[in-house]
Amino acid sequence: MDAFEYQIKKDIRNNPIVREVDQARMREMWRSARVICLFAALAIYSAWQHFELIHYGYRLEELQQARAAEEQINRHLRLQLEALRRPQRIEAIAREQLGMVPPGPGDAVVLERVTPSDPPAHSVVASR
Amino acid sequence: MSDTPPTWRRTVRRRLLAVAVIFGLWAVAVEARLVWLQVVRHEYYVQRAERQQQRTITLPAERGDILDRDGRVLATSAEATTIYAVPTEIDDPVATTDALCRVLEGCRESKAWRDALLERLSRRRPFAYVKRQVSPEEARAVKALDLEGIGFSSESRRFYPNRELLAPVLGYVGIDNKGLGGLEQTYDRVIRGEDGMSIVFTDARRHAYDRVDRPPTRGASLELTIDAVLQHAVERELRAGVEAANADGGVAIVMDPWNGEILAMASLPTFNPNVYGEFSPEHRRNRAVMDIYEPGSTFKTITASAAFEEGILTPETPIDCSPGYILIGSRRVNDMHRYGVLSFADVLAKSSNVGAIKAGFRVGGERMLRYVRRFGFGSRLSPDLPGEQAGIVWPELNDSALASVSMGYQISVTPLQMVAAVSSIANGGQLYTPRVVRAVIRDGVRTPIEPKVIRRTISPRTAAIMTAVMEGVVERGTARAAQIEGFSIAGKTGTSEKIENGVYVKWKHMASFVGFVPSRKPAVTVLVVIDTPRAMGRTGGVVAAPVFRRISEVVLRQLAVPRNLNPEPPVLGGQDVHRVTHCITSCDVLGVSVTSPPGTITSRPRTAPARCPRRTGARGPGRP
């Protein structure tokens, strides 16, 4: 008969044993975590900037096209305005629609001629 | 127990090795491909990427404006739509052509135009113009058709909002934005500016997201000496004169004699520069500088100036014109009437050829030529206008030629030369460069072009004598039709036969009048030339002088020149005193701001200020 083998588990009470926290390692871990977070934030920020740049590129292009279109409309309106101010047209309207006639020799009397002075040399004028 | 690893371990190891080799080969292949693409074929793929991602666009420079002296726009540029086709994308060229021709001007009416368009669309090419620089209405109509293979682009186009006004002076611009005539041609390099460039970065969907610009440099604007309102009035009166005389054409020039500024320059027939292609070169010509003519009796002013300046004659010197003709060799020159003995002043007043020839003989050929050149004849005067003729002046004058030149024949001048010469008499003897451009405006900075004196022609004393003599022409001579009430006018009529094929044509004339007003302190010099009048008469006094009068009346009113004969009394009476006095201090009179002190008008004490006459309503005062 084989010998009856048994083992009595020794009750080891280790509850009072407390694992010691390695403070240095913890600091290192947190430092690493912070650095990783920082890099991650930088990467996200960089990507965000990149996409914002592209977004604003599109927006800028749209606005430039809109501005060009507005400028074109402005030029056409100015052209239309100048065409409406044509002396021939104004005279035709005055004569035919309003029944006006050119002033006769005695209708306008000039008392004194005041000639406008010439603009100074190299003057800055408002751009149209 | 054996040392050899179990079978499964060997199997795993072999398989791992195989996988590692495969991965290694894959990595080598990838690396090799990357080296091929990024190192060996680097340049090729960079260029290809740039072609796909970047577009280089030429930014055309905007052409500068042309303005009159008050800033009114005479020529400007604006975007116009150009319609193009991609023929390779058009399945049915005939249907596309028909659809386009229904809405495009020109194509509707012209079969040749339609056939040409059909031929362009039928060729299997990537690009063809349908019509360049169309009107906004045409562009809208074509866009509404939504045709396959038809596209639109923008081009800068020149517009002349006043149409025919000043057209021969302004010139015109070709489809490629290059000046082809007039000021547009002379100042093309100044007005055109410099094209810019833009590199546009696009994504895979060809949407632009970034660009690098080298902006275009806008062309400079020109400020002219021309007054658009005067120009309109001058063109209107000249047209009326040409139509009344049933003439072939005409020229009128209004010049400021004190600085050479041209205030108006009209040439008929004229054209619309917006559609210059529809007019013949005959219409597009600026006759004021490109045509030469024999001035006839207006040139007697030069003969007289030479005689007075050299002290050979005085206005009172008697000259015998009694036979009514003079023989120069076998040639006989007639007067209109037998005048008898005339003072030299009356020789000019009655425009006696015999008297002028006798005066010319006294001056002599050499001296006469010296004065002809001194007055600017035989040379180009203005740098502004292209195609200006120098005229024809003979290098030497024999007796016959001297006789002819003395009365304005055998010498050819341009209207511009004639008005400049008479302006030098008007201003006391200074010959100014006639000019049309007053200033150049670039980037908002106005750089004026200063008046330039070419030379002194005659002394102020001679100019004063000439003024008095020319006044006689208007008061009692051939130009009584030029008289304007309240103004003294100095002038001279001219009538010359035209030369065709080297022969004088008896029934074709150039009728002209040149004068300045008010003669004692001239505001303007005005020249009128009527080409081949058929109705009314043929002489300058009958045909051109009335046109001069009508033009001068408008010019004097527009420039607010007060009358110098029997001027308005300086002291006013009754209600006018208060009204005018008050207006002088606070209103503007006749559209001109007046800042003179009230004392210059009246010495009476001012009482309660009267209200200014209100300028209400569009209807102006009619004729009394």
- Concatenate the DSSP letters of all residues of chain A into one string: -PPPP--PPP----TT--PPP-HHHHHHHHHHHHHHHHHHHHHHHHHHHHHHHHHHHHHHHHHHHHHHHHHHHHHHHHHHHHHHT-HHHHHHIIIIIS------TTT---S---PPPPPPTTEE----
With a CB-CB cutoff of 8 Å, which residues 342-381 of chain B face chain A?
Answer: none
Is the bond preceding B518 in cis, omega lying within 30 degrees of 0? Answer: yes
Bridge partner list, B265 = B253
Q: Which of B73, B445, B620 sits opposite A82 (nearest CB)?
A: B73
Quick check: B593 pLDDT over 60?
Answer: no
Kindly provide the b/e burial profile for residues B409-443, where b requires at least 16 CB atoms within 10 angstroms of the residue's own CB.
Answer: bbbbbbbbbbbbbbbbbbbbbbbbbbbbbbbbbee
Cβ distance A87 to B232 less than 8 Å, yes or no, reads yes
pLDDT higher for B453 or B151? B453
pLDDT band at B112 (very low <50, low <70, confident <90, very high): confident
**Taking CB atoms and an 8 Å limit, are A119 and B446 in contact across chains?**
yes
Over the stretch B141-152, which tens digit does the pLDDT of each residue have? 898 998 888 888
Q: Greater confidence, B231 or A103?
A: B231
Distance CA B457, CA B468 (A): 17
For residue B620, the chain A residues in CB contact (below 8 A) are 100-101, 103
| Dist CA B44 CA B106 (whole Å) | 47
8 Å CB contact of A108 and B73: no
Which of B55-69, B91-105, B198-212, B287-301: highest mean pLDDT? B287-301
Query: Any idea of the CA torsion for B295, B298, B381, B516, to the nearest 10 degrees?
Result: -140
Residues of A in contact with B73 (CB under 8 A): 78, 82, 128
Which residue from B316, B399, B308, B301 is spatially nearest to B356, judged by alpha carbons? B301
The four Cα atoms A97, A98, A104, A108 give a dihedral, to 10 degrees, of: -140
Say how far apart CA B268 and CA B547 lie, in whole Å: 14
- Average of pLDDT values for B203-211? 74
pLDDT at residue number B611: 39
Q: What percent of chain B is predicted at pLDDT more than 90?
A: 57
Find chain A residues with C-beta within 8 A of B553's C-beta: 105
Amino acid at B24: G
Tokens, residue B110 = 């012209």
Considering only alpha carbons, which residue of chain A is nearest residue B201?
A57
Q: Are B281 and B586 in contact (CB under 8 A)?
A: no
Q: Please list the alpha-helical segments (H only) found in B180-280.
A: 182-186, 188-192, 228-244
Average pLDDT over residues B600-618: 36
Per the CB < 8 Å rule, is A87 touching B165?
Answer: yes
Cα angle B198, B202, B206 (rounded to 5 degrees) comes to 120
For residue B500, give the amino acid letter: E
Mean pLDDT of B218-240: 95
- Interface touch B76/A82, C-beta < 8 Å: yes
Mean pLDDT of B509-532: 95
pLDDT computed for residue B565 by the predictor: 84
Asked if residue B161 lies in contact with residue B76, where contact means CB atoms within 8 angstroms, the answer is yes
Give yes or no for B618 touching A (CB within 8 A): yes
More confident residue, B260 or A116: B260
Nearest to B225 by CA among B185, B182, B262: B262
Judging contacts by C-beta atoms under 8 Å, the chain B residues touching residue A101 are: 620, 622-623
CB-CB under 8 Å, A100 with B618: yes
For CA atoms A52, A58, A61, A62, the dihedral sign is negative
Residue B189 near residue B179 (C-beta atoms within 8 A): no
CB contacts, 8 Å: A109 with chain B: 563, 568
- Restricting to B residues 421-450, those with a Cβ less than 8 Å away from any Cβ of A are 439, 441, 443-448
> Chains A, B: CB contacts under 8 A, how many?
139
Report whether pLDDT(B552) > 90: yes
Let me know the angle formed at the C-alpha of B265 by B478 and B528, rounded to the nearest 5 degrees.
Answer: 10
| Cross-chain residue pair B208–A61, CB shorter than 8 Å | yes
A54/B209 CB distance under 8 A: yes
Residues 595-614 of B with CB under 8 A from A: 595-596, 600-601
Pick among A84, A91, A125 to test the B interface (most B CBs inside 10 A): A125
Confidence check on the interface: ipTM exceeds 0.85, yes or no:
no
Note whether A85 contacts B601, CB cutoff 8 Å.
no
User: In the predicted model, is pLDDT for residue A122 greater than 80?
Assistant: no
Q: Among residues B77, B297, B412, B424, which one is catalytic?
A: B297
CA distance A62 to chain B (A): 9
pLDDT of residue A96: 93
Distance in angstroms (rounded) separating the CA atoms of residues B7 and A75:
89
Q: What is the mean pLDDT of chain B?
A: 86
Q: Which residues of B touch A94 (CB under 8 A)?
A: 618
Residues 6+ positions from B506 with CB-CB distance below 8 Å: B497
At B580, list the tokens.
């005018």
* B297 included as an active-site residue: yes
Which among A79, A88, A113 is the nearest to B159, CB-wise? A79
User: Which of B79, B161, B563 lies nearest to residue A86, judging by beta carbons?
Assistant: B161
CB contacts of A124 in chain B (<8 Å) are: 444-446
Report how far residue B432's alpha carbon sits from residue B429's, in angstroms, rounded to the nearest whole number. 10
For chain B, the 3-state helix, strand and coil shares in percent, each to the nearest 5, are 40, 25, 35
